[in-house]
Every structure is written in structure tokens, then in C-alpha cells.
Structure 1
Amino acid sequence: MRHDAVIIGGSYAGMSAALQLARARRTVLVVDAGRRRNRFAHAAHGFLGSDGEAPGAIAERARTQLLRYPTVTWIEGDVSGAHPIDDGFRVRVEGGDTHEGRRLVLATGVVDTLPEIPGLAERWGRSVFMCPYCDGYELDRGPLGVLATAPMWFHHAMLIPEWGPTTLFTNGAWHPDDSQRTALAQRGVSVVEDRVLAVGGERATMELEGGHSIDLAGLFLMPRTRMASTVAADLGCDMDEGPMGPFIRTSPMKETSIPGVFACGDVARAAGSVALAVGDGAMTGAATHRSLIEAFHA
């Protein structure tokens, strides 16, 4: 079957894009590998109407609602390749099956790469976080930390005190200059320059070089990201470099540099949350539908 659109990625952005197309009575195929970026978190916050719910529950409810539309087909699997054909694209799913769509929407997401510090990965999404708007409120103004992992460390350290008394851990990798130290002090941020050996404890105890440790209610860092799929690169989509990693460049109408290929969600913007992904997907679905109409009248 030839679909109006094939959407690669069935998390929040992909489903939101699919919903707009389904409501326009277009045929949509969603191919999803089942690896949501926030699957490590117990709760999602800041998403109007679902604040505090489990991310998996939000996603499953959205999927159930989406599949009520008879023009939507869902396949679980990884996409191993995609290439242009006459008036559309052919997508190959691992295992050999191929599917065609007049338009292609990339909602493939990104993968977070954490520093190789023992105990960090085990606490990711539980007491180690990226976004204070998503997770800061629940830490109840307890002692917080910022682990300097990227050039945006200063911005992060200046932001976090809104949610609790903050300590910046430079881990020996970053060195605040005099003006930065003054600004941090004005925000009440303590600076620890010892190397972090491990993260332990019930929440996030920073075990430091020299044998001492600092107990925290939560730790924030900005991980390096990489694209979860190579499809965009294989197609030749132009990229931009964000503060944490590359993302797909899109027009204001969410089309990539490859005509007929659209992108949304974390793979197509420099910041991410459930709310942003859903909004981005809705815009992309509507723009994709509009492109089908414009092609008909061309």
C-alpha cells in the first residue's frame, strides 16, 4: 500500500504529526522502534493535562487514541533505510519489508550520551536530570548540583538556583573566569573543582577526589546527544549544531533540505520536552498535509 505519509518514530512528536494527518483523512504509516527518550523517567511534568503522569502511560494513551483512526497503520521495528522514488519515498524496515509514502516525516529522536562516571547512568531520569522545568519542582528546594559537561554549563548553573541551593561541579574540565565566579556567587552557587569519582547514595551523593562527598537531592547536567537513526544523514538532510549535539535543519514549515521530507521533535530542535515535541509534531503534521494539497494544485 502506498501511504500519503510515512512517519519514522512513534513517540510524542511522531504521534502528534500522525494525528493531524489522520484527522485530514490521509493514510499514514507510523514505524516505531519503541525507545522513547524519556523512558527512564518515572513521571513527566510540564505537559498541560498530563502533569505528573508516567511517560509510558501518556504515550500508550496517545497511541490508543491515534489508532482509532482507520487510515493509520502502526508497525513496530527499526527503519534500516529510506530513499526517494518517483513522487515519494520507499522505507525499508529491518527484516526486509518496504513501504512507500508520498511524504516522509522524521521523528526519530536522539540518544543521550552521559559522562562515564560510575553511578550516573543508573540514576538518569530518577535523581539525575537535564531539564529543571521538567523535574526541578519535585526536588522540593533541596540541595542541587550542576555537573559541567558542555559549553552551556554556566547558563545551567545560573538557572538551577531557582529550584534550590546549588553547587557547580566543574569536574576539573571547566574553569570559571572571574566574571563568571562573581555572577555565580551572586546567585548563591558554590563551586567545587575537584574531580567527580562516582555518584552514589539514595539520591545523588557526589563522591569526590580527596575522599569527601556531598549529598544532593538531585543533579542536573546537559548530556551530549546523537541522532537515534541515520536515516536523515543517509538522505542528505542538512544539519545544524546545537549546544548538545546536531539536529536536523528545517524550514518554518518543518520541511528539511530534502523536498518532501519533514522533521519534528528532539531530532529537529535544540531543546526537548513532551510539550515541545507534541507542539512541534502538530505543526509538522499540518505542514505535511498542506504540502500534499499544494502538490495536487501544482
Structure 2
Amino acid sequence: MYFDVIIIGGSYAGMSAGLQLARARRNILLVDAGQRRNRFAASSHGFLGQDGRDPGLIATEARAQLERYPTVHWLNAKAQTAKRIEGGFSVAVGAGELLKSKRLILAMGVIDRLPAIPGLQERWGKSVFHCPYCHGYELDQGRIGVIASSELSMHHALMLPDWGTTTLFTNGAFVPDADQSSQLRARGVTVETVPVREIRGECADVVLDDGRVIAMDGLFTLTQTSVPAPWAEQLGCTFEEGPLGRFISTDAVKQTAAKGVFACGDAARAVGSVALSVGDGALAGTAAHRSLMFDND
């Protein structure tokens, strides 16, 4: 079957893009591997009208609404490759089945790589977070730790006193200079330079190499991210270097450097947010539709 648009990634950005195209009565396919980035979190915040809801329920309801449109097709599978062919694109899934489309939207999100500290990964999305706006309020002005992964963690440490009493664990990632130390003191941030041995306990107790245990109500850390699709570059997409990793470069309406290929969501911006991903997807979907209408080459 030849589709107008294949969307790779069926999370918030991909479904938002699909909704615009479905309402334009275009024949679309969403290929989704089921690896929603916020699958570890019990609640989603900062998305107007959905604040505090289970992100899985938001996604499930969104899919149900999308699939009511008769031109929407859904495939639970991982896209193996995507290539340009005459008249459009081919996407290989599963054991090599080829699907074809006139346009392509990349909404496959990113992979997070956390600092290699025992106990950190298991608490990711539960008591270890990356976004203060998404999870800071629920810590109720409690004890907040920042596990440094690079000098960029200064930004986290300077922000988080608005959400609670903040301790920066430098963990050998960097040493604050005199100016940085002055900024941290001005914000009331405590600095711990002893390396972190592990994270344990019901919430996020930080065990240091000297044996001390510092109880925390929540931790924040910056991950390194990567786009899980080497073929995005092969399609002709270019990348930008963000503070936490590479992401696909797009113009204001989410068109990539590869003609006919659009990108949206976390794979195409330096900041992760459900609300921003939904907006990104709407832009990509409408831009892909305009491309189908007016761009014939």
C-alpha cells in the first residue's frame, strides 16, 4: 500500500502530526516501536488540560481518537531503515517488509543515557528527573539533589532552589570556579564534592564515597541524548549539536534539510516536553500536508 505520509514514531509528536493529516483526509501510517520516552513516569505535568495525568493514559486516549479517522493506519513495529526512492520514500519494518509513502515524518524521539551511578536508572522518572517544570512542584519545597553530569549541571543547580532546598553533587563532573561558586551561594545551593557511590532508599538517598548518606526527596540530572535512527542522516537530514546531544535540524515548520522529510518532537529539538512535542507535531503535520498539495517535484 502506498501512503501519503509515513510517520515514524507514535508518541505525542507523531500522533499530533497524524491528527492534522487525518483531518485533511490523507492516507497515513504510523509506525511505532512502543518506546515512549516518558514511559517510566507515573504522571505528566505542564501540558494544559492534562496536568497530573498518567502519560500512558494520555497516549492511549490520543491513539484511540486518532484511529477513529478512516484514513489512519497503525503498525506496532520498529522501523529498520528509511530510504528515498523514486516518487517518495520506502520504510523497512520487521523482517524487511517495505512500506512506501510520498512524504516522511520522523518523530522517533531520543534515547537517554544517564550517569553511570548504581540505583539511578531504576529511579528514572520516579524520583530521578530531568525537567524541574515537569516534576519540581510535586517535591513540595523538599530536599532536592542535582547529580552533575557536566558543567551544564550548573543551570539545573541554579534553577532548582525555586522548587526546594538544593544540593549540587559535583561527582567529579566539574569543579565550580570562583564565579560559579559565588552564584551557587547566592542561590543558597549546598555543594558536595565527594563522589557519589550509589542511590538507594525509597526515594533517592545519595550514598557518598566517604560513607555519608544524604536523604533527598528527589534528584535531577542531565542525560546525554541520541536519535535512535542512523538512517536519518542517510536520508540527507542535518543535525545540530545541542547542550545534551545531537538533534535533527529543521526550519520553522519542521522541514528537514532532506526534501519531503519532516521531523518533530524530542528528535528535532533540544528540549523535551509533552506540550512542546504536541505543538511540534501539529507544525510537522500541517507542513507535510501543504507539501503534498503544492510541491509536485
Short-chain TM bin: over 0.9
Aligned position for 1:246: 246
**Structure 2 CA distance, aligned partners of 1:30 and 1:230?**
19
In 2, Cα distance between equivalents of 1:104 and 1:151? 37
Q: What amino acid maps onto 2:107 in structure 1? A: A
- How big is each residue's C-alpha offset from its partner over 1:148-184, in whole Å with a ceiling of 9 and x where there is no partner? 1133111111001110010000002210011111111
Q: Distance in 2 between matches of 1:221 and 1:234?
A: 32
1:255 corresponds to which residue? 255
Amino acid at match of 2:281: G
Match of 1:225 in 2: 225
Partner of 1:93: 93
SS in 2 for 1:216: coil
CA RMSD across the alignment: 1.0
TM, length-normalised to structure 2: 0.98
Question: Is the CA contact (8 Å cut-off) linking 2:144 and 2:216 kept in structure 1?
Answer: yes
State how far apart, in whole Å, the 1-side matches of 2:282 and 2:113 are: 28
Q: How many Å separate the matches in 2 of 1:242 and 1:129?
A: 19
Query: Which residue matches 2:105?
Result: 105
The alpha carbon displacement at 1:205 in A equals 0.5
* Within-5 A mapping of 1:49-64: 49-64=49-64
Q: What is the distance in 2 between the residues matched to 1:154 and 1:3?
A: 47
CA distance in 1, matches of 2:249, 2:83: 18
Conservation of the 8 A alpha-carbon contact between 2:150 and 2:173: no
How far apart are 1:197 and its partner, in Å?
0.3
Cα drift, residue 251 of structure 1: 1.1
Contact 1:161 1:189 in 2 (8 A): yes
- Following superposition, the deviation at residue 233 of structure 1 comes to 2.3
Mean Cα deviation higher: 23-32 or 225-234: 225-234
* 1:63-94 C-alpha deviation (Å, 9 max, x unpaired): 00000000010001011111111121011112
Secondary structure of the structure 1 residue equivalent to 2:138: helix
User: Could you tell me which residue of structure 2 aligns to residue 72 of structure 1?
Assistant: 72
TM-score scaled by structure 1?
A: 0.98
Q: CA deviation at 1:14?
A: 0.3
Structure 2 residues not aligned, in runs of 5+: none
Per-residue deviation, 1:228: 2.2
The total of aligned residue pairs comes to 297
Alpha-carbon separation, structure 1, partners of 2:150 and 2:85:
40
For 1:40 and 1:153, the matched residues in 2 are separated by 22
Q: Secondary structure at the match of 1:4?
A: strand
Q: What is the distance in 2 between the residues matched to 1:96 and 1:258?
A: 23
**CA contact 1:150–1:223 (8 Å) conserved in 2:** no
Pairing 1:8-19 to 2, within 5 Å after superposition? 8-19=8-19
Q: Which runs of 4+ in 1 moved over 6 A?
A: none
> How much does 1:116 deviate?
1.2
Query: Does the CA contact (< 8 Å) of 1:150 and 1:243 recur in 2?
Result: no
Percent of aligned pairs with the same residue? 56
In the TM superposition, what whole-angstrom CA distance separates every residue of 1:106-161 from its partner, at most 9, and x where no partner exists?
00110110111110011000000000100011111101011111331111110011
1:270: which partner in 2? Answer: 270
Q: Distance in 1 between matches of 2:75 and 2:211?
A: 51
Cα distance in 2, alignment partners of residues 151 and 57 from structure 1: 36
8 Å CA contact 1:120–1:199 kept in 2: the answer is yes
Q: Is the contact made by 2:14 and 2:264 (CA closer than 8 Å) also made in structure 1? A: yes
CA distance in 1, matches of 2:293, 2:110: 31
Q: Is residue 148–residue 171 contact of structure 2 (8 Å, CA) maintained in 1? A: yes
